[in-house]
Amino acid sequence: MENHFPEKAPKILKEKPFWWKEEVVYQIYPKSFYDSNNDGIGDINGITQKLPYLQELGITMLWICPIFTSPMVDNGYDISDYKGIQPEFGSMGDFDELLSEAKKSGIKIILDLVVNHTSDKHVWFQSALNDSKSNYRNYYIFKEGNNENPPNNWRSIFGGSVWEKVPNEENMYYFHTFDKKQPDLNWENPVLRQEIYDMVNWWLEKGISGFRIDSITFIKKDQDYTDVIPDGADGLASVKHKGRNRPGIKDFLSELNRETFQKYECVSVGEAPGVTYEEYDQYIGNNGYFNMIFDFHYADIDVESGSEWFRRTNWQIKELKNQIFKSQEAIQKNGWGANFLENHDQPRSITKYIKDEKYQNEIGAKALGTLFFFLRGTPFIYQGQELGMKNFKRGTIADFNDVSSIDNYQRSMLEGYTSQEALEFVNQRSRDNSRTPFQWNSSETAGFSESTVPWLKLVGDHTTVNARVQLEKEDSVLCYYKKMIQLRNKSKYRETLIYGEFVPMNTTDHIIAYERIGRETIQVIINLSNQASLIEGLSGEILLNNYSEITYEKNGLTLQPYQALVLRKEENNG
């Protein structure tokens, strides 16, 4: 239906336009996207072959998780050569081809920049480890122990001490925020920093459009390296207290920005956990270190801490709403955000956010999609989210691959939970949930790989949840995502949906609703409960609806369980 409301004089948009505000990003976990040569592992040529799918979906930029040379202990987040391509993913030639083919399809590419640490197999670290006189020792963090004990009691993100003993040397340790095979780089060393900047610029010269910057708030550690009061049954204290977003980090981050990103037409997206809203101005303001950052405040609403899955919360929709609003308002005040529902470190969103299992289906997937997609910021869609892929249910810890899942399983039991309970936590939260092979069709291997057993087991629901079936089905989650992308980027509401102001709407607790105000007012309303609910005063043209019907009332609209609407507000209605 054509819009029949009187045109108001267009409001002047307050927002400064930038190309990266207009992108719709699609995140690819290369190991699990598409396997082009049937070895059970997704690869770069697989991405190139699936460009038509991505183009049809309508996304405009890809963020590809690490494809660099790596022993794959943390699936590529342990890099042993920053300028090489991991052979199981392909070659540099394959990457160059992907870059140029994507460009032809109007798709930009950003890569993952992992510079808090390298792999222990990196030549720098090998030299540092094996030769105490090596210049590379100062590329990493080596310290003497404390009477046969590690230098302090900090716990790494993946469990156990942050310190690993150096073999063949007495009383010497090296530092790792994550796994022991991911030694931290020493950002205090200007020679190392320069080496990193040169590498970043080398990639930018190649023509990529920018970077997602991994774990970047960990690069500065308190230089006293003193003990912290233990915060767990293992007697250790999280590295976050003294090794994340610490005083002095500003100097490193502004230098990184100045020496690299600022010299190019590129986008920088920071993974910056631990940054408070008060600090957002420094991070994403006018002279911020990054163009945008991910906000993890509500991504971890179901747990007290994103790295300790056994500390679960009993969260309510009202809290989720408050946190989303708070986040949007803080970002709007300071700059621009990167919005996401899922990524490779999170479980699938329908399992996490939809409380009533009956609605962990297409309706629920579309409701969540609507909620996140129209927030102010650049939307990031994680592979499979557009199909409504769900968590799996594994019967034994042996079925998990992810390092942090195994650590969480062991730590849960150390905290006093039974092995059954520990398995339950891991099933709910494991990063493997989102790393299962992409479901292309209903064949035995879901079309991910033609003949081989994939590297990680499938979820098991691919006979119904798959791209081929959903492309044909008008009311599928996939077609709904296509419509959302179309509405944001190609419709006459584009300017409002990209640049319009974010304004929260005041509704009942379990309804999350907001307006985007620009040339017109667009309202986004989601019922996140299994109760139908009347909202008074709603009227206007419906632009999107995850149900096939609308329940009009005399004084408004009734939203069915998990119903989501996008509505162009009737202007003479106030």
Binding site for ligand GLC (CB under 6 A): 74, 77, 114, 178, 214-215, 271, 344-345
Nearer CB in complex with ligand GLC: 88/402: 402
| Distance of alpha carbon 124 from alpha carbon 231, whole angstroms | 34
Q: Considering CB distances under 5 to 8 angstroms, the limit depending on partner class, which of ligand GLC, Ca ion, none binds residue 402?
A: none
Nearer CB in complex with ligand GLC: 404/476: 404
Q: Considering CB distances under 5 to 8 angstroms, the limit depending on partner class, which of ligand GLC, Ca ion, none binds residue 215?
A: ligand GLC
Residues 512 and 320: beta-carbon distance below 8 Å: yes
* Residue 204 makes contact with Ca ion by CB under 5 A: no
Distance in Å, CB of 70 to ligand GLC, minimum: 11
Cα 175 versus chain centre, distance = 26
At which residue do the structure tokens 């994340």 appear? Answer: 244
Distance in Å, CB of 214 to ligand GLC, minimum: 5
Q: Is 185 exposed, middle or buried (0-12, 13-18, 19+ CB in 10 A)?
A: buried
Residues 18 and 291: beta-carbon distance below 8 Å: yes
Nearer CB in complex with ligand GLC: 114/477: 114
At which residue do the structure tokens 């038509």 appear? Answer: 52
Stretch near Ca ion under the rule CB under 5 A, chosen from 41-49, 99-107, 387-395, 439-447: 41-49
At which residue do the structure tokens 């994103």 appear? Answer: 306
Q: Considering CB distances under 5 to 8 angstroms, the limit depending on partner class, which of ligand GLC, Ca ion, none binds residue 114?
A: ligand GLC
CB contact set of 40 (below 8 Å; sequence gap of 6+): 449, 452, 453, 454, 455
Nearer CB in complex with Ca ion: 43/302: 43
Distance in Å, CB of 75 to ligand GLC, minimum: 7
Q: Considering CB distances under 5 to 8 angstroms, the limit depending on partner class, which of Ca ion, ligand GLC, none binds residue 35?
A: Ca ion
Beta strands in 179-262 (DSSP E): 210-213, 237-238
Q: Considering CB distances under 5 to 8 angstroms, the limit depending on partner class, which of ligand GLC, Ca ion, none binds residue 300?
A: none
Q: Count the Cβ atoms, other than its own, within 10 Å of residue 38.
A: 11
* Residue 43 makes contact with Ca ion by CB under 5 A: yes
Distance in Å, CB of 9 to ligand GLC, minimum: 45
* Residue 185 makes contact with Ca ion by CB under 5 A: no
Which residues make beta-bridge pairs with 559? 533
At which residue do the structure tokens 């081989």 appear? Answer: 452
Q: Considering CB distances under 5 to 8 angstroms, the limit depending on partner class, which of ligand GLC, Ca ion, none binds residue 107?
A: none
Distance in Å, CB of 30 to Ca ion, minimum: 9
Catalytic entry in 35, 214, 302, 362 = 214
Q: Count the Cβ atoms, other than its own, within 10 Å of residue 492.
A: 11
* Residue 37 makes contact with Ca ion by CB under 5 A: yes
Distance in Å, CB of 219 to ligand GLC, minimum: 12
Stretch near Ca ion under the rule CB under 5 A, chosen from 42-50, 460-468, 472-480, 545-553: 42-50
* Residue 49 makes contact with Ca ion by CB under 5 A: no
Nearer CB in complex with ligand GLC: 214/362: 214
Distance in Å, CB of 60 to Ca ion, minimum: 26
* Residue 41 makes contact with Ca ion by CB under 5 A: yes
- DSSP code per residue over 459-522: -S-TTTSSHHHHHH-TTSHHHHHHHHHHHHHHSTTHHHHHHSEEEE----TTEEEEEEESSSEE
Distance in Å, CB of 117 to Ca ion, minimum: 26
Catalytic entry in 35, 74, 179, 271 = 271
Nearer CB in complex with ligand GLC: 70/529: 70
User: How many residues sit in the footprint of Ca ion (CB under 5 A)?
Assistant: 5
Q: Phi and psi of 215, rounded to 5°? A: 45, 35
Our answer to whether residue 214 is catalytic in this structure is: yes
Residues 432 and 400: beta-carbon distance below 8 Å: yes
- Amino acid, single-letter form, for residue 413: M
**C-alpha closest to that of 489 among 183, 109, 107, 167:** 107
Q: Which of 29, 31, 35, 403 binds Ca ion (CB under 5 A)?
A: 35
Number of residues in the chain? 574
Using DSSP's 3-state secondary structure scheme, residue 562 falls into: coil
Q: Considering CB distances under 5 to 8 angstroms, the limit depending on partner class, which of Ca ion, ligand GLC, none binds residue 41?
A: Ca ion
Q: Considering CB distances under 5 to 8 angstroms, the limit depending on partner class, which of ligand GLC, Ca ion, none binds residue 345?
A: ligand GLC
Crossing angle between the packed helical segments 477-490 and 362-373, to the nearest 10 degrees: 20
| Distance of alpha carbon 446 from alpha carbon 406, whole angstroms | 26
Catalytically active residues, by annotation: 214, 271
Question: What residues make contact with Ca ion under the rule CB under 5 A?
Answer: 35, 37, 39, 41, 43
